Structure 1
Amino acid sequence: MNPATGPDDRTLRIGYERCQIGRSGLPYRAATEDPVLHRLMRMAGRAYLTQEQEAPAMPRTDNPFQRYSAALGRVVEDKDAVDRMRALHGFTLEECRAALRVPGLQPRVASRLRARIRTLERDQPEPEDGGAE
């Protein structure tokens, strides 16, 4: 690979796609010749490649209220009741059960988790039934 065109060309192409410059009808070659667009594409491409390389794997945790924040670059936890109530709507049955074991869980959140567990258990198909009635 030619070092003068290889990595920089890949960075520019990624930036061209990420900035959606092609949607305006401007071809790639014309965009690279414009100094402002060239710089924008290079910055967007580098940012994307850096994010792709540096995103750490989410550590395994028993607390489903913890999640990785790409904006902050670290693991954050929903601690107040409003954020936890918002988060539990996307939880699976196992995550709901794990959330009930989180220390310091607010009573209202625990009540909503138990209701979610009942809903998920009710909506689960019976393995022996096979769906026949």
Structure 2
Amino acid sequence: MWVEEATLMGSLIGELEAREAAARARVEALKAELARLTARLEDEREAWSRPRIARETVAEVIMDLGGSGATAPVVGGAEPENPVHPGVRVVGAITVPHWRQGLSAAVLPDVYRDIIEVLPTSRSRCRPSRSCRGSGCPR
């Protein structure tokens, strides 16, 4: 019986060592994945910060040039992390919110609202040149 217990004890120890080795391998694999994800997170943070820095730099340049008028557009319905200073006019960037049920034309920039007003008055297909003329667009 003592030999039987020793054999059982040996196989139990072997099983525990095998489980320990498997758990250690999983931990090492997770550590490697964590290191990979941490590096990827840093890359994405860098990619995320570049447009913000560019926007801030453009706002500073415009402010230095004495720009005035509209403030920076809101992108995606959320306030920017570091909004452009009030009174800074951002040139060449008009954002339009994604359409969703119940959204009215009042959320659109003036230029787009003007075009929307012209389109229903057209008796035939409205070409871009006609809608521009009707809305007061310079082109």
Q: Do they superpose with TM above 0.5?
A: no
Considering only CA atoms, is the larger Rg found in Structure 1 or Structure 2?
2
TM superposition score normalised by structure 1: 0.28
TM superposition score normalised by structure 2: 0.27
